[in-house]
Amino acid sequence: MTHFHPKLRAPVAIAPLVLLGLLCLGLAAAAQATGVGDFVVDSSRAAKLDHCVEPTEYMRRYHYELIRHQRDTTVYGGIRSTKHSLAGCVKCHVGYDAQHKPVAVNAKHQFCNACHSYAAVTVNCFDCHATVPKGESWNQVTAGDREALLPGVHPQVGAAAPAAPGAAPESRDQ
Amino acid sequence: MSREVDQVNQERRRFMGVAAGAVAGTAGGAGVVVAALSSGVSSDAAAAPRTEPVSDRHRWGMLIDTAKCVDGCTACVDACDEENGLNLQAEPLGDDEAKWQNQRSAWIRKVKVQDNASGVVTNLPLMCQHCEHPPCVNVCPTGASFKRADGIVMVDRHICIGCRYCIMACPYKARSFIHEQVVQKLTRAPRGLGCVESCNLCVHRIDDGNPSPACADACAAEGHHAILFGDLNDPSGPLRQALGAQPNRQIRENLELNTGVRYAGL
């Protein structure tokens, strides 16, 4: 940028120093966590992928619109398998501790919480919704998983199989 | 049920402005066969998650043969509890056990009826009867209690305010209220303090293309086969065949609710 008002030059020049000061004060986390993708938890699946279900910038701004739309699509339309499902967000964004146990996605410093508390947003979704992937129904498993599960897993419709397909991913996750 | 009365009843409901959605084919009656929907992209019979919104092409229901329902067996209730995370409800510390048993959410109740004159005892599982004209939907002030296009009566818990009118309105005592914070929950069965819920015919399974609720599967696995699940709109399907082959009735048929769950041997 070359068009600074002369009077602004001085403050701009000292900005790096101020930033350095902030870093020293231990505010680094807050200042840094504004970069795209910075809230993604290292131990989550998402950390190994390079994009979200929609362009990341869009997700940052509009994720709640997508989820809310999905909510009605599912509850009234019975469509559960799409990429905007809340179960999907949790599955991909949940972090894991050293024992490979999932950590609640809304727990302190975890994906949904870290950013929301930074942005002063509170959601009540997790009063009801599971915060770790547990007992997902077959359709709530992401597409890749589903392909792996397909052969032999799904018995004939109407067959009264005790090992129903709904139970397959569940037994894996529990 | 007389068709005429049904018609009058429907007129009245329409007049009162409370009839929600289109009136689906009357089960067991002449059977309105709804023409198969156009595209055929997602045949609901195929074992695949659905990609199109549910329609009134199907109306899901069950036939429960009380003669096959065994005294003391709770396979259906247990399977339901597990499938829908009901077994994860925690009794509040220091709560009275009897009170808790009364309050905890239960989607199926095993009921025993005795005819005092003959002494004949009948066992049956009682759950949401998935009425065509559900009283719970009529009384709901927010529209949270609703009937899905395929006949499943459910609660949209995102707009349920927990007033419990529906619990009072239900003649089958089929609905439960969540009185406590829920800590443990399953992804497929979200649940939380302050909302009403009831049997949804394992809607997540149906949407998967696996139309068979946990209770029916468990009953069959026990070898009892007392619960038959199926499509009331499909005249050649197993449910309609079974309904035609065996005398059966609705519980409280005098209420003209045209329930989706029917009972044989009652």
- Nearest chain A residue (CA) to B44: A157
pTM of the model: 0.81
pLDDT at A28 (0 to 100): 40
User: At B238, is the secondary structure helix, strand, or coil?
Assistant: helix
A159 within a domain of the structure (yes/no): no
Q: Is the pLDDT of residue B44 over 80?
A: no
Nearest to B217 among A133, A157, A164 (CB): A164
The ranges assigned to domains in chain B are 3-91+103-264
Determine, for residues A164 and B210 on separate chains, whether the beta-carbon distance falls below 8 Å: yes
Determine, for residues A161 and B217 on separate chains, whether the beta-carbon distance falls below 8 Å: yes
Q: What are B122's strand-pairing partners?
A: B113
d(CA B26, CA B59): 9
- Nearest chain B residue (CA) to A86: B187
* Strand pairing report for B109-114 and B248-249: unpaired
* B203 contacts in chain A (CB < 8 Å): 78
Q: What is the CATH number of domain B3-91+103-264?
A: 3.30.70.20
A3 within a domain of the structure (yes/no): no
A45 within a domain of the structure (yes/no): yes
Phi, psi of B165, rounded to the nearest 5 degrees:
-60, -40
d(CA A55, CA A117): 23
Do B38 and B215 form a contact (C-beta atoms < 8 A)? no
Count: domains in chain A: 1
pLDDT tens digits, B220-261: 999 999 999 999 999 999 999 999 999 999 999 999 999 999
A70 within a domain of the structure (yes/no): yes
pLDDT at A139 (0 to 100): 54
pLDDT tens digits, A40-65: 999 999 999 988 999 999 999 999 99
d(CA A48, CA A45): 6
d(CA B196, CA B161): 9
User: Burial of B107 by CB count in 10 Å (0-12 exposed, 13-18 middle, 19+ buried)?
Assistant: buried
pLDDT at B16 (0 to 100): 39
Could you list the residue range(s) of the whole structural domain that residue A81 is in? 15-153
* B221 contacts in chain A (CB < 8 Å): 160, 162
* B187 contacts in chain A (CB < 8 Å): 87, 90, 129-130, 133-137, 140
Q: Within a 10 A sphere around the Cβ of A16, how many other Cβ atoms? A: 9
Residue B259 half-sphere exposure, CB side, CA atoms within 13 Å?
A: 23
A1 within a domain of the structure (yes/no): no
A6 within a domain of the structure (yes/no): no
Determine, for residues A127 and B182 on separate chains, whether the beta-carbon distance falls below 8 Å: yes
Counting every residue written for chain B, the total comes to: 266
pLDDT at A135 (0 to 100): 85
pLDDT at A34 (0 to 100): 66
B68-88 mean pLDDT: 96
Q: How far is A163 from chain B (nearest CA, A)?
A: 9
d(CA B236, CA B170): 31
- Return the residue matching tokens 């972090």: A95
- Return the residue matching tokens 């990341």: A56
A111 within a domain of the structure (yes/no): yes
Which of B167 and A172 is assigned the larger pLDDT? B167
A168 within a domain of the structure (yes/no): no
pLDDT tens digits, B141-190: 999 999 999 999 999 999 999 999 999 999 999 999 999 899 999 999 99
In chain A, where do the E strands start and end? Answer: 95-96, 102-103
